[in-house]
């Protein structure tokens, strides 16, 4: 499969040496918002039911500046499909997701990434769960390799032990590896290590890129990335959720809202709208992260193409969608074009 690619096309590590690499994530939340995926189980059945929708979202993210087309296999693992009674569709959903992503990578010049994630069955004290996790990862990684992945991502993993299993399976393929951890409210991995120590251990274990994704917004992820930068020598990743988290509520799961009227009486995961970051906040994160040496960047759950475009532009890129970046100079009341009517500008100034 990989032979269909242009051999001269730079891979992940070459691109990181040259500059920033952007990886758009957040497919679960975006497709749920669009009405193609059910919140709760969050299983990406849309890959089989509406593949054209997944293809379009990949295209939108690439046009906005994503260098990576990440196959939508997040939560397409055996445990999740068993939960909804569709375990028989396991291989089909993985291969279909990889083939959709691969078609966009081929036509748009992006990198195809295979993807594995938290299994939700890992238990530090249960060796049988470790074996089950390994088998789940081996299945998905095997299909990713078959379908021509350029590199492999293990993401949103909250246990160092589970991340180490993921890394071992991925490294056995010889492909470049990215491992990003999810740091919850306590500020450590669920099996104890601080994020900087866990990332250093994964780096020492051979991961090509280590870092954080999901759970934390820009304001509460950046300080952790600074600590990781002090401990790690190699390429680092930072992919926050686009929500306004803070010191008291550092993760989007911990956000509270007295006006929230969701059935769960909490914003996460279906009433987060009041907390969404603007594109300008994502731009500021991108620049601050770059300044401390975070070259692999992206936005996770909740990301829209406008967030990705803003990040790309902040890092000096000019993606196709930049053609439509805001230009207020010709707005009827906020602009400064000489053809605009003065009475409209005066009117809006008084609002």
Find, among 301, 295, 325, 308, the residue nearest to 13 by Cα: 295
Region of residue 221 (phi > 0: left; psi between -120 and 50: alpha; otherwise: beta): alpha
Is 123 strand, coil or helix? Answer: coil
How open is the CA angle 215-203-194, to the nearest 5 degrees?
45
The residue written with tokens 């009827």 in the block is 332
Contact 14, 235 (CB under 8 A): no
pLDDT (0 to 100) of residue 6: 57
Tokens, residue 197: 């120590």
The number of angstroms, rounded, from the C-alpha of 32 to the middle of its chain's C-alpha atoms is 15
Cα separation, 234 vs 332, in Å, equals 49
Residue 304: phi, psi to the nearest 5?
Answer: -120, 165
Question: Which residues share a beta bridge with 276?
Answer: 243
Find, among 162, 244, 178, 248, the residue nearest to 211 by Cα: 178
The number of angstroms, rounded, from the C-alpha of 108 to the middle of its chain's C-alpha atoms is 19
The residue written with tokens 């995961």 in the block is 269
pLDDT (0 to 100) of residue 348: 82
Question: Which residues share a beta bridge with 20?
Answer: none
pLDDT (0 to 100) of residue 8: 67
Residues of the chain with pLDDT under 50: 1-3, 5
CA dihedral 160, 125, 300, 31 (to 10 degrees): 150
Cα separation, 197 vs 152, in Å, equals 22
How open is the CA angle 117-122-128, to the nearest 5 degrees?
130
Tokens, residue 47: 């890959």
Please state whether the peptide bond connecting residue 218 to the residue before it is cis, i.e. omega within 30 degrees of 0. Answer: no
The reported pTM is 0.95
Residue 307 to residues 61, 242, 280, 349, Cα–Cα distance (Å): 9, 8, 8, 28
């Amino acid at each position: 499969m990989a032979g269909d690619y242009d051999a001269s096309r730079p891979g992940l590590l070459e691109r990181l040496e040259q500059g920033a690499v952007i990886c758009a994530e957040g497919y679960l939340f975006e497709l749920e918002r669009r009405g193609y995926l059910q919140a709760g189980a969050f299983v990406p059945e849309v890959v089989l039911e509406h593949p054209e929708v997944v293809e379009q979202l990949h295209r939108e993210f690439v046009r906005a500046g994503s260098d990576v087309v990440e196959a939508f296999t997040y939560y397409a693992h055996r445990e999740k499909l068993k939960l909804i009674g569709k375990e028989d569709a396991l291989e089909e959903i993985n291969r279909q997701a990889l083939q959709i992503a691969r078609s966009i990578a081929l036509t748009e010049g992006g990198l195809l990434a295979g993807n594995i994630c938290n299994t939700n069955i890992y238990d530090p004290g249960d060796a049988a769960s470790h074996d089950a996790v390994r088998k789940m990862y081996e299945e998905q990684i095997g299909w990713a390799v078959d379908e021509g992945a350029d590199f492999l991502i293990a993401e949103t993993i909250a246990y160092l032990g589970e991340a180490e299993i993921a890394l071992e399976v991925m490294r056995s393929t010889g492909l470049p590896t990215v491992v990003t951890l999810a740091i919850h409210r306590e500020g450590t991995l669920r099996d104890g290590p601080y994020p900087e120590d866990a990332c250093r251990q994964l780096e020492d274990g051979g991961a090509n890129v280590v870092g954080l994704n999901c759970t934390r917004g820009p304001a509460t992820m950046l300080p952790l990335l600074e600590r990781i930068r002090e401990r790690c020598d190699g390429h680092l990743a930072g992919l926050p959720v686009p929500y306004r988290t803070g010191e008291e509520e550092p993760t989007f799961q911990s956000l509270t809202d007295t006006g929230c009227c969701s059935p769960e009486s909490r914003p996460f995961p279906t009433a987060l709208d009041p907390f969404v970051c603007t594109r300008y906040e994502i731009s500021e994160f991108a620049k601050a992260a770059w300044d401390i040496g975070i070259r692999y960047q992206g936005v996770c759950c909740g990301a829209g193409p406008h967030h990705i475009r803003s990040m790309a532009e902040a890092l000096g890129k000019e993606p196709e969608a930049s053609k439509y970046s805001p230009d207020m100079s010709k707005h009827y009341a906020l602009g400064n074009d000489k053809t605009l009517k003065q009475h409209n500008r005066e009117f809006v100034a008084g609002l």
